[in-house]
Amino acid sequence: MTHEQPCVVVLGGSGFVGGHLRAAFRSSGARVVSVSRTRPDGVAGNGPAAERFVAFDLLATSPAELAAMLAGTGADVVVNAAGGYWKMTDQQMWRANTELVSTLVAAVRELPHRPLLIQLGSVHEYGPGSRDTGFTEERTPAPVNAYGRSKLEAAHRVLEAAGASELNGVVLRIANIIGPGLPAGSLLGDIAAHLERFAQDGEAADRELVLGPLNAERDFIDVRDVADAVLAVTRAPRADITGRVINIGSGEAVSAARVAKRLIELSALPVRLVERARTGPSRGDVDCQMLDISRARQLLGWMPRRDLDASLTGLLTAA
């Protein structure tokens, strides 16, 4: 890093993950530049001395325009927290996750200095797994949905450029992110939104929350632990991380039913969870995703610090 106070550019700074990244980097003493189409909450004008906002449409820019913007910030680190997650068509997902990263890689390659590019990927790049073992970074990815495919192709583009020594880049494959500020659209975000409405209307008693089958088992990670992991990446020797994939998760798989029930319990609302029966054929194996986080411990000295209850309580408190 070239400054006493490094400059960190957070792409998608107004989003759920981006907001937590901005807060973590500000607390670390970094100068933060938040880039998004909409101004993040709490950033007035050009923001405080430790943070400023750049209005920029990442989906409607050329590599040259993006490179010029990044060069103007003097970025030491660029974190890509932008992209599409839920309720998008396959084409929209590809554009938001893959084409955006193609533009970003082309832009970073042209910069006169070499910022560290941190691409936030997803456990869904790996595809289905089992209870027997967690996914290691050496596992051959086999995504089964548009989101996983779009994120995997984005990861390939960062890793290929890093492998060709065209940029310093690392991909974090992150488990299912939960915690304060999780928006509606995901399973737990939707449940939290329903619970908030039940609490506000004063008619939660005997209400039913009807959800689809909840037999999937997932690795959940607190968004604040994700921010800690990204900070750890910026402090690691570049030679140790450039061109690498690093898993960021809890290292455990928990059933969606257990998590949903626990979220309702922590709300202390008299709401009953009703799980719809599966319709159509069912696979014999368990739909399970779990990350092996040994590499993160080894290279970053990072481990998650928040348990599931802390994450769910944070989600409810911020809802």
Secondary structure of the chain in HEC code, one letter for each residue: CCCCCCEEEEECCCCHHHHHHHHHHHHCCCEEEEEECCCCCCCCCCCCCCEEEEECCCCCCCHHHHHHHHHHHCCCEEEECCCCCCCCCHHHHHHHHHHHHHHHHHHHHCCCCCCEEEEEEEHHHCCCECCCCCECCCCCCCCCCHHHHHHHHHHHHHHHHHHCCCCEEEEEEECEEECCCCCECEHHHHHHHHHHHHHHHCCCCCEEEEECCCCCEECEEEHHHHHHHHHHHHHCCHHHHCCCEEEECCCCCEEHHHHHHHHHHHHCCCEEEEECCCCCCCCCCCCECCECCHHHHHHHCCCCCCCHHHHHHHHHHHC
Between 163 and 51, name the one with better pLDDT: 163
Query: How much of the chain exceeds pLDDT 90, in percent?
Result: 78
In a domain, 95, yes or no: yes
| Number of structural domains found in the chain | 1
**In this structure, are residues 255 and 217 in contact, taking their beta carbons and an 8 Å threshold?**
yes
Between 283 and 274, name the one with better pLDDT: 274
pTM: 0.93
Q: How confident is the model at residue 133 (pLDDT cuts 50, 70, 90)?
A: confident
**What CATH number did the domain enclosing 138 receive?**
3.40.50.720
In a domain, 266, yes or no: no
For β-strands 7-11 and 31-36, DSSP reports them as: parallel
In a domain, 203, yes or no: no
Cα gap 308→177, rounded to integer Å: 11
Between 281 and 273, name the one with better pLDDT: 273
Average pLDDT over residues 55-79: 96
Average pLDDT over residues 71-97: 93
Say which residues have a Cβ less than 8 Å from residue 228's Cβ, sequence separation at least 6. 24, 302, 305
Annotation marks residue 126 as catalytic: no
The CA-based dihedral angle spanning residues 125, 127, 129, 134, taken in that order and rounded to the nearest 10 degrees: 0
Average pLDDT over residues 166-181: 97
Calculate the average pLDDT of the chain: 91
**Is the confidence at residue 145, as pLDDT, over 80?**
yes
* Maximum separation of any 2 CA atoms in the chain, in Å: 62
**CB neighbours of residue 163 within 10 Å:** 11
**In this structure, are residues 123 and 231 in contact, taking their beta carbons and an 8 Å threshold?**
no
In a domain, 284, yes or no: no
Domain that holds residue 115: 7-175+220-249+293-298
**Is the confidence at residue 264, as pLDDT, over 60?**
yes
pLDDT tens track for 113-130: 999 999 999 999 999 988
Poorest-pLDDT segment among 44-58, 83-97, 117-131, 164-178: 44-58
Q: Considering the candidates 147, 198, 220, 302, report the single residue annotated as catalytic.
A: 147
In a domain, 157, yes or no: yes
Nearest to 245 by CA among 127, 158, 131: 158
In a domain, 226, yes or no: yes
pLDDT tens track for 150-162: 999 999 999 999 9
CA 182 to chain centre: 11
**Cα separations in angstroms, 215 against 72, 255, 291:** 49, 6, 18
Q: Is residue 7 exposed (0-12), middle (13-18) or buried (19+ Cβ within 10 Å)?
A: buried
At residue 100, the pLDDT reads 98
In a domain, 282, yes or no: no
In a domain, 186, yes or no: no
Average pLDDT over residues 45-74: 87
Provide the phi-psi class of 307: left if phi over 0, else alpha when psi is between -120 and 50, else beta. beta
At residue 49, the pLDDT reads 61
At residue 206, the pLDDT reads 67
At residue 205, the pLDDT reads 61
